[in-house]
Amino acid sequence: MRRSSIFFLLTALKILIIIALFVHSRIELSNRMTLWKDLEGIVSTLKLTDMALFTDARYARHPTQADLFSAFQDYPGSIEHFPTGTIVPPPEFDSVETVIKIK
Amino acid sequence: MSTEIIIETANTTKIFNKEKPDEVIAVNDVSIKINRGDFVVFKGPSGSGKTTLLSMIGCMTRPTSGSIYVKGKDVSHLPERFMTMIRRNTFGFIFQQFHLIKGVSVCENVMLPLYPTDIKPSKLRKKAEEILHNLGMEGRKDFPVQRLSGGEQQRTTIARALINDPDIILADEPTAHLDTNLSEEFLSIMRGLQQEGKTILIATHDPLVYEKDYINLIIEMRDGRVKNIIGKQ
Amino acid sequence: MGIEKHRNILDYTLLSLLRRKFKNIGIILVFTFVIFIVGSILFLSYSFKREAYLILKGSPEIVVHRMMAGRHELTLLSYMKDIIEIPGVSKVEPRYWGYYYDSMTKANYTILSMGETVMKTSRLLKGRLPEINEKNSAAIGKGVARARFIDIGNVFSLQSADGSQMVFNIVGIFETDSELMTADLIVLSESDFKRLVKMPEGMATDLAIYVYNETEALTVARKIRERFPDSRPILRDEIIRTYDAVFGWRSGLVLTLFIGALAAFIILAWDKATGLSAEEKQEIGILKAIGWETSDILEMKFWEGLVISLTSFLPGIILAYLHVFFFGASLFAPALKGWSVIYPEYRLAPFINFYQVATLMAITVIPYIASTIIPSWKASITEPDIVMRG
Ligand SMILES: Nc1ncnc2c1ncn2[C@@H]1O[C@H](COP(=O)(O)OP(=O)(O)OP(=O)(O)O)[C@@H](O)[C@H]1O
Ligand SMILES: [Mg+2]
């Protein structure tokens, strides 16, 4: 077989795998629709605001409830929570249009 | 054999680094005519302009002034694309250093000139194998070229020069790296090709070459000029 | 001009690449690894982002904290009757929550209670939640259960603020599927919570505000700020955007891994772009001398770049997908876990952001092809007569 044919075949094979993964993604996502609805239910019942991904620091457990403007708010650069501190940046409320000011 | 003029140079001049302090007039006002089927030798001391003239004839570089006609067509002012086309269709090159592509088999090296054409690879391979067979190289066709002996490399180079079935074969110092036996063998291959009707142009200062009686044109050069033309019929 | 010519050139390119097998396989391996790492980060962060978006839609529309001397302070329940008066507010509820450090397991739990229980059971909850005034019962997250080796029907104790041990019956455990949100939770009744942390009457941790019309949330928040200058309203919008930032490209997670991978890629491309070896230059000269056009040489270089980059990119992306969505991003787990004792088990949802994947392709494949073609440009346009002179 020609070398170019082998190359095209291998490339086509990889593209097929990618298509298969895409189909997997679609099926998996549609299977999870009810899970998300249920999770949303739990979140609204318990009035949760954050994911339980990092439980080693306050600002990391509830990044949305942390803030930048309090003095001495735990800052992600603090070494004692490495590596979580490098993963969770300070909340970026500045960049959000919804800064709440008193007129 | 016809006496069609296959190559003609008219006042061909090549100046390197023109109008700079290190200006070199490599070829100076050369006008020669070569007939189809000629076996031509360019001889002359080192630096006399043989290689330069050969590369202009072979459409590898353009003359600074003057013209070159190949099969009656002025090739000296063609755009690059057309020069390449003429090079690919008309000429076969045999270089002094062989210039084979390392790591590639003998057969692939021979096929190389015709890769960028629409030829089917199976057809191309058959053609290459046939030429290699004629040169007694069929046992070596799948060898990587860097493991060949000097003579085998030379024959591979010849095969590569023949893959496009050229009318004209250009060889620059082809015997410089060969011993007497191999040089003789090379020349007899060239002689055979001449008898098939191809035109052979060899630049050399090897007496072994220019003393052969089937050479019918010896062009002697010195300092870029043609010093002497000896025609034997 | 037929297609055959281009295939022939590709044939030769592949032959030529195979000559330097180890070098080219090395390049492909590094390239694949770079794509794998960057692709994994993209898949992982995008999946978290999308899940946060889908799940946190259930969060309160506004959460109001009270600040005192630059600290988060308990909120007065008396704020509630003023806030409910604000036009557009449909409901105000207190939230009771905080943290509990368990010195035995060295784990941090999130303790909370809800007001009235609307939902008592869920598919994601084995058992039930404690009633509003039910004594000594708790529903816990799977992570807590794992850390304390307890199950539904068992009891466990927490130390209350006055030093006494409070014993709780486990009436519910959140299912594995919900761990991303519930792993470290201990849900108590309101009265037990207040007793445990000794919260004074008339106080709550913060307030959850609901509005009739989501678009008015900002206006309501502004009015709350005006009425209570010591308050800090947080909009649900901001909650979701925070997660966008945590898993955005500027976050530490993405940046740390990204920079390493990028450096590797730049070294790779740099090595290419800094020029051809004498041998490669001569090969180009030979090809030209024996009848290849400049465009043929450039086409060969194009194929070379394309073959290497596609042969790396596609497997890299495939491996990244498998890594993140089939093997739970196990390579990144140590960084994600950090020092946490409780860590949720979750299966990431395979969200694919085509824009990101296409961008990744564009910023790797195209520069790589360019860095292959450009250095050979000069060699390929010079007149081939140099090969006549060795
Ligand atoms: N690219 C170049 N730039 C400047 N000068 C050049 C260049 N190429 C050749 N020359 C000069 O042109 C002259 C003719 O060179 P050429 O190679 O044609 O001679 P030659 O007859 O083939 O010599 P030899 O027998 O040694 O191969 C020499 O003086 C050489 O130095
Ligand atoms: Mg010479």
Q: Report the distance separating Cα B106 and Cα B136, nearest Å.
A: 13
Residues C92 and C230 both lie in one domain: yes
What does each C-alpha distance from B147 to B103, B104, C127 come to in angstroms? 9, 11, 79
C243 CA to centre of ligand 2 in angstroms: 72
Query: Any idea which of B157-161, C103-107, C256-260 has the lowest mean pLDDT?
Result: C256-260
What does each C-alpha distance from B58 to B91, C139, C268 come to in angstroms? 7, 90, 39
C176, C211, C234: which is the final residue of a domain?
A: C234
**Chain segment C356-386, per-residue pLDDT in tens:** 899 889 988 998 999 899 888 888 888 888 7
Task: Provide Rg for chain B, Cα atoms.
Answer: 18
Q: Report the distance separating Cα B83 and Cα C166, nearest Å.
A: 95
What does each C-alpha distance from C300 to B152, C7, C363 come to in angstroms? 28, 10, 21
Q: Report the distance separating Cα C346 and Cα C128, nearest Å.
A: 22
pTM given for the model:
0.86
Residues C255 and C230 both lie in one domain: no
Assess contact for A11 and C310: CB atoms under 8 A: yes
Position C123 in a domain: yes
**What is the total count of domains within chain C?**
2
Atom of ligand 1 nearest to the CA of B27: 14
Q: A53–C14: do the CB atoms touch at under 8 Å?
A: no
Q: C2–B112: do the CB atoms touch at under 8 Å?
A: no
Look at residue C47 and give its three-state secondary structure: helix
Token reading at B184: 């003789």
DSSP code for C325: I
Residues C40 and C100 both lie in one domain: no
Residues C321 and C359 both lie in one domain: yes
CA A1 remoteness from chain centre: 46
* Closest by Cα among C135, C152, C147 to C110: C147
Q: What is the pLDDT of residue C80?
A: 94
Q: What is the pLDDT of residue C344?
A: 87
Chains in contact with A, where contact requires at least 3 CB pairs less than 8 Å apart: C
Residues C365 and C291 both lie in one domain: yes
Position C239 in a domain: no
Sorted by where each begins, the domain ranges of chain A are 1-47, 49-103
- The residue whose CB lies within 8 Å of the most ligand 1 atoms, and thus the one to mutate among B50, B206, B210, is B50
Torsion of CA C23, C27, C33, C37, to 10 degrees: 150
Model ipTM value: 0.91
- For every residue of B127-177, DSSP letters joined together read HHHHHHHHTT-GGGTTSBGGGS-HHHHHHHHHHHHHTT--SEEEEESTTTT
Share of chain A above pLDDT 90, in %: 46
Nearest-CA residue for atom 24 of ligand 1: B46
What is the number of residues in chain C? 390
Q: Report the distance separating Cα C159 and Cα B191, nearest Å.
A: 107
Residues C305 and C182 both lie in one domain: no
**Chain segment C73-94, per-residue pLDDT in tens:** 899 999 999 999 999 999 999 9
Q: Report the distance separating Cα C195 and Cα B227, nearest Å.
A: 117
Q: What is the pLDDT of residue C29?
A: 93
Residues C225 and C310 both lie in one domain: no
Residues C77 and C145 both lie in one domain: yes
Q: What is the pLDDT of residue C2?
A: 78
**Chain segment B131-145, per-residue pLDDT in tens:** 999 998 989 989 999
**Chain segment C188-234, per-residue pLDDT in tens:** 999 999 999 999 999 999 999 999 998 999 999 999 999 999 998 99
Residues C81 and C12 both lie in one domain: no
Residues C255 and C345 both lie in one domain: yes
Assess contact for C47 and C321: CB atoms under 8 A: no
Contact status of B60 with chain C (Cβ, < 8 Å): yes
Q: What is the pLDDT of residue C385?
A: 81
Contacts of C282 in chain B (CB under 8 A): 99
Q: Which residue of B has its CA nearest to C293?
A: B84
Residues C173 and C313 both lie in one domain: no
Assess contact for B66 and B11: CB atoms under 8 A: yes
The answer to whether residue A73 scores a pLDDT higher than 60 is no
Q: What is the pLDDT of residue A83?
A: 58
The answer to whether residue C47 scores a pLDDT higher than 60 is yes
C234, C262, C282: which is the final residue of a domain?
A: C234
CA-based nearest distance C322→chain B, Å: 37
Distance separating the N- and C-terminal Cα atoms of chain A: 76
Contact status of A94 with chain C (Cβ, < 8 Å): no
Comparing A95 with C262, which gets the higher pLDDT?
A: C262
The dihedral through the CA atoms of C334, C337, C341, C347 has a sign that is negative
Position C240 in a domain: no
Assess contact for B208 and B184: CB atoms under 8 A: yes
What does each C-alpha distance from A40 to A63, B69, C112, C187 come to in angstroms? 19, 84, 17, 17
When pLDDT is cut at 50, 70 and 90, the band that residue A78 belongs to is very low
The answer to whether residue C247 scores a pLDDT higher than 90 is no
Q: Report the distance separating Cα B92 and Cα C224, nearest Å.
A: 90
* Domain carrying residue C109: 61-234
The answer to whether residue C132 scores a pLDDT higher than 90 is no
C234, C259, C290: which is the final residue of a domain?
A: C234
Assess contact for B99 and B119: CB atoms under 8 A: no
Q: Report the distance separating Cα C24 and Cα C18, nearest Å.
A: 8
Look at residue C203 and give its three-state secondary structure: strand
Mean pLDDT score, C246-252: 71
- Across chain B, which has 233 residues, the per-10-residue mean pLDDT values are 82 92 92 93 92 92 94 90 90 90 94 93 94 91 90 92 94 88 92 94 90 90 91 68
The answer to whether residue A87 scores a pLDDT higher than 70 is no
CA-based nearest distance C285→chain B, Å: 9
Q: Report the distance separating Cα C244 and Cα C46, nearest Å.
A: 9
Q: Report the distance separating Cα B44 and Cα B219, nearest Å.
A: 8
Q: Other CB atoms closer than 10 Å to residue C210's CB: what's the count?
A: 17
Q: Report the distance separating Cα C41 and Cα C332, nearest Å.
A: 9
Torsion of CA C28, C249, C237, A59, to 10 degrees: 110
Q: Indicate the average pLDDT of chain C.
A: 89
* Closest by Cα among C76, C114, C81 to C200: C76
The answer to whether residue C121 scores a pLDDT higher than 80 is no
Q: Report the distance separating Cα B167 and Cα C153, nearest Å.
A: 98
Q: Report the distance separating Cα B100 and Cα B96, nearest Å.
A: 11
What does each C-alpha distance from A95 to A49, B190, C48, C59, C244 come to in angstroms? 20, 80, 20, 21, 12
Residues C185 and C310 both lie in one domain: no
Assess contact for A37 and C323: CB atoms under 8 A: no
The answer to whether residue A77 scores a pLDDT higher than 80 is no
**Chain segment C14-34, per-residue pLDDT in tens:** 999 999 889 899 999 999 999
